[in-house]
Amino acid sequence: MFVINCDITIGKYNFKTVSDLKISRSIHQIGSTATIKLPLSARLKTAQLSNTIATNQAFEVSDLVEIKTGYDKLYTEFKGYVKKIIYQKECVIECEDFAYKLRETNIKKSWASVSLSDAIAYISTQVKGLKFSEIPSMTINKVILDGKSALWFLDEIKTKYGIVFFFDIENILQVGLVYQYRRGEVKYNIGYNCPDETDLQYVDEKDIKLKIKAIGIKKDGTKIEKEIGKEDGEVRTLYFYDISDASTLTNLAQNEIDKYKFTGYRGKLTGFLDPFCCPAMKAIVKDSNYNDRKGNYYVESVETTISRGGGRRQVELGLKLS
């Protein structure tokens, strides 16, 4: 029998139980989020006292948040800030990781042309505490920040250039190409530690139709585009950097198709709180009933939930790894 444990701190208050908890993390979203539901009256603890108080008097927007969950061992799941508080039949606390600080910081700055590393370095001077990984060498053009938020800027670059931005659990901004960042591994055995495989399918590569939209970014920041693959196929947009001509772009895109056309699992599996899992991990998935289906996959997103029904992690599998 697994007993779920929580250790949640918001502002000066600490508590061990919740009505509901949901934490969402993805390599495709800059910020991770957490939603905590509490009774309107709950026992909350501070360094000085432990008492039952009205939760609508306890918390404030921008309060620091730290969430740990698990069974015998607790894992740090989330660090961030209170973004919004809703009082209905319950106290609903919406939280965001360090993306909250980017959202709250407006910047006035423009560049005709600038390297991505210089742009993010400038933003770090405006957003106290921003930490980031090594940044790929690339040029971006026509950047105008007329009072827009730092988060808006990163989202624009993400959309226009296909650069992946997301905060990891330590609130370090990971910057780079999709699937570039790797973080540990987790093992799943279908029917054992992932009892629910409703959204997981095993697909033969012969049944996969793909259409690749390839976007090449030249050294000066300008773009070229090519499309290859099945006209009626699933569309994937891939970005390539330091490209000089269309034929080079086509060859690179053709090589990439084989990575996305693989025989293996697609979709999401559901596991327990243990083992711990977060985006960018390598998931080693096997099924004791089908020994030939063992494979390694890049974890794209994880949604962790705790409710009266128990604790679960819904893990989205991406690219098949070697």
Nearest to 287 by CA among 147, 183, 187, 185: 187
Counting residues of the chain whose pLDDT is more than 90, the rounded percentage is 62
Residues 71, 77: contact at Cβ < 8 Å? no
Counting residues of the chain whose pLDDT is more than 70, the rounded percentage is 98
Per-residue pLDDT reduced to its tens digit, 8-23: 999 999 989 899 999 9
- Note whether 77 and 116 are same-domain residues: no
Residues 55, 42: contact at Cβ < 8 Å? yes
Give the residue from 176, 196, 226 where a domain finishes: 176
- The predicted model gives 60-78 an average pLDDT of 96
Its pTM stands at 0.92
Three-state SS at 86: strand
pLDDT band, residue 47 (cuts 50/70/90)? low
Residue 46: what pLDDT?
Answer: 74
**Residue 128 phi, psi dihedral angles, 5° rounding:** -60, 130
Query: Is residue 28 one of the residues assigned to a domain?
Result: yes
Q: How many other CB atoms are found less than 10 A from the CB of residue 211? A: 16
Give the residue from 128, 159, 176 where a domain finishes: 176
Query: Is residue 273 one of the residues assigned to a domain?
Result: no
- The predicted model gives 277-303 an average pLDDT of 95
Residue 319 has pLDDT above 90, yes or no: yes
- Note whether 72 and 92 are same-domain residues: yes
| pLDDT, greater one: 197 or 277 | 277
Residue 56: what pLDDT?
Answer: 74
**Alpha-carbon span 205 to 155, nearest angstrom:** 33
Query: Is residue 144 one of the residues assigned to a domain?
Result: yes
Residues 301, 25: contact at Cβ < 8 Å? yes
Query: DSSP for 105-172?
Result: -EEEEEEEEEEHHHHHHHHHHHSTT-EE------EEEEEEEEEEEHHHHHHHHHHHH--EEEE-TT-E
pLDDT band, residue 232 (cuts 50/70/90)? confident
Which helix or strand (DSSP H or E) is residue 291 part of? strand 290-307
In sequence order, the 6+-apart residues with CB closer than 8 A to the CB of 285 are 188, 190, 265, 269, 293, 294, 295, 296, 297, 317
Residue 49: what pLDDT?
Answer: 67
Of the listed ranges 44-58, 100-114, 139-153, 295-309, the least confidently predicted one is: 44-58
The total number of structural domains that make up the chain? 3
Residue 178: what pLDDT?
Answer: 84
Query: Is residue 288 one of the residues assigned to a domain?
Result: no
- Note whether 122 and 164 are same-domain residues: yes
Residue 1: what pLDDT?
Answer: 58
Residue 51 has pLDDT above 80, yes or no: no
- Note whether 90 and 21 are same-domain residues: yes
Give the residue from 62, 97, 132 where a domain finishes: 97
- CATH code of 82's domain: 2.30.300.10
Per-residue pLDDT reduced to its tens digit, 234-267: 888 988 888 878 888 888 888 888 888 899 999 9
- Note whether 9 and 91 are same-domain residues: yes
Query: Is residue 23 one of the residues assigned to a domain?
Result: yes
Residues 180, 268: contact at Cβ < 8 Å? no
Rg (CA), the chain: 22
pLDDT band, residue 93 (cuts 50/70/90)? very high
pLDDT band, residue 88 (cuts 50/70/90)? confident
Query: Is residue 293 one of the residues assigned to a domain?
Result: no
In sequence order, the 6+-apart residues with CB closer than 8 A to the CB of 187 are 193, 275, 283, 284, 286
Residues 203, 179: contact at Cβ < 8 Å? no
- Note whether 9 and 60 are same-domain residues: yes
Give the structural domain span for 42: 5-97
Largest CA distance in the chain: 69
Query: Is residue 29 one of the residues assigned to a domain?
Result: yes
Residue 65: what pLDDT?
Answer: 98
Residue 220: what pLDDT?
Answer: 81
pLDDT band, residue 40 (cuts 50/70/90)? confident
- Note whether 120 and 93 are same-domain residues: no
- Note whether 105 and 172 are same-domain residues: yes
Query: Is residue 305 one of the residues assigned to a domain?
Result: no
